[in-house]
Each structure stands twice: as structure tokens, then as C-alpha cells.
Structure 1
Amino acid sequence: MGGGRRLAGALRHVQRLGGDAGELGGVGGHRCHILAHGDRRAQALPLAAGGVPLRFSSRRHCGIPPCTLRALTIGIAGGTASGKTTVARRLVERLAGHPIALLDQDAYYRDLSDMPLEERRGFNFDHPDAFDADLLVKHLQELKAGRPVEKPVYSFALHSRTGETQRVNPGDVVLLEGILVLALEPVRALLDVKVFVDSDADVRVLRRLSRDIKERGRDFDGVVDQYFRTVRPMHYGFVEPSKRYADIIIPHGGLNEVAIEMVAGAVRQRLTRP
């Protein structure tokens, strides 16, 4: 109870941080655009970041399986509870009328069903090796080719797959979101557009506490322990460095309506080309 009250009080006092639109230099001269929250100048920005065009696919997908045209594939990465899922949902809403195949990287955690539950609880789920990259790559390739896939169903309560699957049909757009989407090179190579959702660390940890306690059956102490033991060090070891691969950086996650609309507008424009 005490932890819940502290969390609720802290969440009420989280303030959104402001910022300016600009560019962020990366390795090899690659530059990406940072779309500031509430900055209307972003609406006038060209569909290129620092002279590097966004790599939208030139081929439209038919939306009816089996299909032969390649789907546009967008990857949304960022730290834990940064707003990745919210950004993905906002894009789906803004692309109404276009079939979208939505994948969450969490579904592709390795199958740990043979491991005792206590060991699973101590497993490092924030390291790139925690994911079944081969299966994720295969499913991305299948969806891009216009074929449906059977996505694993993952249980956060059991820290493992359930053995069930969920069918994901192909679409004009394949949308993949997860903390290490840009950190896994074989996955990154299949993305036409790479987005990084950037949020303040204090905001992220509070959101994670709220989400894991309310939605994933965790307790306050367990969430805090996991954060300092694996989540935080893996963020700075793998997630944050993957930002350099982004074509677009969106501060403030799902709160940045201008940036989300810009991305959605660019996608709509590409999909409606003859």
C-alpha cells in the first residue's frame, strides 16, 4: 500500500520537459531529426533528416494475402515505458484505411518454459540475447513478403511463452515496437524507417512502476530491484546507444502529437502514390 501511494503521488507531479527541434549527429556522418514536442515548425520539415532521405519503400503492398508487393516496415525503439506502444497506437489510428501488421518485440522473448519460475524471475530480459532474433527476422520477412505469421503469446506473469500463438496478417505497413528494435542488426536491416522514442529517465521509471504493478502483477520492491539490476544498466549499454541508428527521434513519446502526425503524414503520402 505504501509503495502504491508513493507511486501515485510521484506520478501526479511528473512534468513534461520541453525542448527544441534539432539534429543529432551519429556514427558515420548519419544524422537524424529530433522532433520537439509542441514545435509547429516540425510540420514544415522536409521528409529528409540532415540531408539523409527517410528510406520509405517505393513499392506498395496490396493488403490482401497472399501479396507480392513489399510492405513499408517501421521500427519504433526506445527505453522502457518511453511511450513506444502509445506512438505505435497513434500511428495506427492516423493510418486508418490502411491494413497494418503490428508486432511487439516482447512477444519474441526466448522460450524459457523449461527454466524454473524462480530462475526466470532473475533472468536478464533487457539484454539483446534475451530475444529470439531469428524468429523475429523470419516473421518480418514473411510479413514484408505478404504472408501471415503466427506470433508467440508471451506471459509477463510467467516470464515465458504460453505455447499459444496469435495470427498477424500482412498489411500495407509492418509496425514493430520494442526496446531493442534498433540494437539488433539483423532486425534493423529490415526496417525502412527507424524511430527512437526519447523520454526523461525519471518519467520512464515511474511509468514502468505504474504499468508493471497494475498490468503485470508485479510488486513495488520487485519492480525497483529489476530496474536497478538489469533495466537501467542495459538501457545505457544497449538501448541508448541504438539511438544513433534512428532516422527520427521523438521526444516525449505519445505526447508529441506533432511528430507523430508528421510520420503518419509521410507514410500516408507514400502509400497513396500510384
Structure 2
Amino acid sequence: MCPKKLGMDSCGRSQRRVLPESASRAQQTLPPRLSRVNGWSKPLHGYQAVSWAMFVTLALAMFGIFIPMLPGMWKNIVYGVSGGMLLFHVIVYLVCVSIDPGEDNVRRKKIYSEPVPTFDRSKHLHVIEDLYCCLCRVTVSEKAKHCRACNKCIAGFDHHCKWLNNCIGSRNYWWFFSSLTSALAWLLCVVSILLYIVIQHHVDPRVLRTDPHYQNITSQDTWLLFLPYFHLKAKTPVFVTIAVLVLVLDLISLLMIGQLFIFHLYLSTLHPNPPPQPRSRLASSFPSCSYVT
């Protein structure tokens, strides 16, 4: 039987610092029967597909349509800088998703092949009591929490990220923060290039038509997409529409990632050890995070 101590929460701290989980939420989100290993464990979350689709769309548009329009050496410079930032982001993203953020005892016990028992609130007040998890059946550290989405105890639990489909804890937090930073830097690079092209199109469109393949194009209303390998022709309204849509998509991504980056930067610089209750309230305003209390 799991030990418990009156007046203490799931991490062995005062209950006054814990936000109790509502019964309605518990009924709406049933935990998986098997503990999830990392962000690749099924079922994959729909937010993953959305994030992949957004970045793939932006990458195709930038490297296939807009960067080839840049004049002179700027084209090669932007290829290198933008490509390097995107490659770095992909690497840290994959590492963050692939890391198992579980507690050491959870990973040593290898509970992933065994169904996790259902939590019985009639017997226990909290999943973790006196640093012992009643579901994982292991002793955990003070900062650990049992994630409902992953159904296991997470070391240094920060939040469960739906965009990565993985918990963020002490084992992968800095990979997560690096992923945020690199994504934000790349999106800022994208919006800068798009704004330059949109402004230059209204000031002097000829600057955007310096590629040698335009020598055989006599109409100023015709643009070549996906240079230099393909010569897909498009009229000015189509080109402008694509540019505006990509710019809007980039700004939406920038807004979503930017607010999350500022929030975590605030926590890590001004309040490195914030109390659990105010932190959960702040985090609940971000769609990318699902904090477990």
C-alpha cells in the first residue's frame, strides 16, 4: 500500500501550494494504459502534424520561391545562414522529442511494457505521496510529477508539450529551450526576407528578377518559382498571394512561439524557482503547454 502523510502534497510539500485537479478534467482526459516513452510514442498528437506542416510549408516557400529572388551574393549568404539555423532547429527538436524525460527509477524499472494501474481516489489523495508514486510504484525525487498524458513520473517536471508530444523536464529542458530559440530565430529571418521582397516588389521589381533564367522572360507580369531546378511560371497576383499567405503563416508561428519563449525566458531569468501555483496559472494561457498538477 502506498504511504501517505497528512498535509503533504504529491511531491512531499505543503498542500497549500498545489492546485487540485478537477473531477471534470479527470473524466475528460483518461490516461493511456501503457506509459509513453517519448514524443514518438503513439498516439501522436495532432499539434505535431500542424507544427511539421507549418515548418515544411515555410521551408519550401523560402528555399524554393523567395530566397532565389534575392540579388547577388545575398542569395548565397541567406541560403547558408537560414539553412544552418533550420538544420540546428531540426536537430535539437528531434533530440528533445526523442529523450525519455522519465524519472531515473521509472526508466530503470522499464515499466513501459506493463499496463499502469488506474488511480483510485478513494484510497489515495495524490498519485505521489511521501516521494512514492502509487502508479509507477517507485520512489521519485521531490520535483517529480506524474504526467497524465504520459502516465509516468517525470524528472524535474516543467510541463507536457502537445507540440512535441512529450513531457519537458530536467532531462530535456535545455533541448526544448534551444528548440524554441532556434525556431524563433529562423522565423525572424523568414519574416525579414519576406518583408524585403514585398517592399522591393512595390519599389523596384527588377531587383527581384536578376536570376539568369529571367533573360528569356519578356513579360514583367511573369515570375519564376522554385528556381534554379524548376521554372514554374506564375502571374503577379499569384506570386503576391503566395507571399502574403506565407507572411501571415510566419507571423502566426512567430506570435505563438514568441510568447512561449518570453514566458520561459522570464521564468529562467527573473524567477528561476517560482512557486507552483502562480506558474501553473501563467502556463495555462499558452496552447502549447499542458501543465499537470
> Taking structure 2 as the reference length, what is the TM-score of the superposition?
0.20
> Taking structure 1 as the reference length, what is the TM-score of the superposition?
0.21
Q: Which has the higher strand share?
A: 1
The structure with the largest alpha-carbon Rg is: 2
Q: Which has the higher helix share?
A: 2
Indicate the structure whose relative CO is greater, using CA pairs within 8 Å and at least 6 residues apart: 1
